[in-house]
Amino acid sequence: MSLNQLVVAKFGGTSVADYPAMSRCADIVLSNPNTRVVVVSASSGVTNLLVELTSANVNDERRLSLLKQIAQIQYRIIDDLGRPQDIAAQIDKLLSRMSVLSESLVLDRSKALMDELLSMGEQCSSVLFAAVIREKGTASSAFDVRQVLRTDSHFGRAEPQIEQIATLSRDFLQPLLANQVIVTQGFIGADNEGRTTTLGRGGSDYSAALLAEALTAHAVEIWTDVAGIYTTDPRLAPNARPIAEISFNEAAEMATFGAKVLHPATILPAVR
């Protein structure tokens, strides 16, 4: 692969919801040798559970139940992978961090702690997705996007720092792409002090476009469970029609006016 053919592919929550979905998406990744950077969302439902964990009125019983639901989603995938010890250990570490963070939030409602907790879904799904690709015989590893996706410190809706992201990506991410598929997290970043930040709900699309820009990729692909951009949401309107081709402006307009198919800021890095 030459790097100017590089494709960055993003898979949303339903696409990484469970092992069968991850496996189908891994096949999509492997069908194009130029796809070397994969950006994943948290498995479907996980970020909503994490959001509830950060809420002020969650009691201890509910807190434990939420943690259990999150663990079950991860463990179903680990089981389907044949319970690899190293992967289970990595996920266990993330799950116990979730538990500690959710407990700390009871005493200290810090926005930084909340963002760290919200980031855990993508941390889990990226570890698992890389394992699914390796299972298919291709070298792959999970990469901590916080090494390169620098943002300001506006927790919950952090602003990406484009120039720093470009420099960091060239230094720390580009060299890894020669002989493996890198799987990394959408939605999350880190500020100058290394504190975890998030880009706002649905932010994984934006992450993918930012990384594609930083790596001067040939294309960014947003894969989802709907086969294209439709005139209206096909899950709600039966007469919705797929749009074969759409300009940056039209796509930006649709996203800005609430079409959930794309995070509104995603178009900006793509245009640049």
For ligand ASP, the binding residues (CB under 6 A) are 12-13, 41-42, 47, 121, 186-187, 201-204
121 binds, among Mg ion, ligand ASP, none (CB under 5 to 8 A by kind): ligand ASP
Pick the closer one to Mg ion by CB: 202 or 269. 202
Pick the closer one to Mg ion by CB: 202 or 264. 202
Report in angstroms how near the CB of residue 263 gets to ligand ASP at its nearest: 7
Report in angstroms how near the CB of residue 261 gets to Mg ion at its nearest: 8
Report in angstroms how near the CB of residue 2 gets to ligand ASP at its nearest: 29
186 binds, among Mg ion, ligand ASP, none (CB under 5 to 8 A by kind): ligand ASP
Using the rule CB under 5 A, give the single segment among 22-30, 127-135, 148-156, 201-209 that binds Mg ion.
201-209
Residue 2-41 contact track with Mg ion, rule CB under 5 A, x = bound? ----------x-----------------------------
What does each C-alpha distance from 49 to 7, 25, 53 come to in angstroms? 31, 24, 6
Report in angstroms how near the CB of residue 225 gets to ligand ASP at its nearest: 12
Pick the closer one to ligand ASP by CB: 42 or 101. 42
Give the Cα separation of 152 and 19 in Å (integer): 35
Residue 202 in contact with Mg ion, rule: CB under 5 A:
yes
Pick the closer one to ligand ASP by CB: 189 or 202. 202
Question: Rule CB under 5 A: which of 164-193 touch Mg ion?
Answer: none
Whether the CB-CB separation of 11 and 39 falls below 8 Å is answered with yes
Report in angstroms how near the CB of residue 197 gets to ligand ASP at its nearest: 13
Report in angstroms how near the CB of residue 52 gets to ligand ASP at its nearest: 12
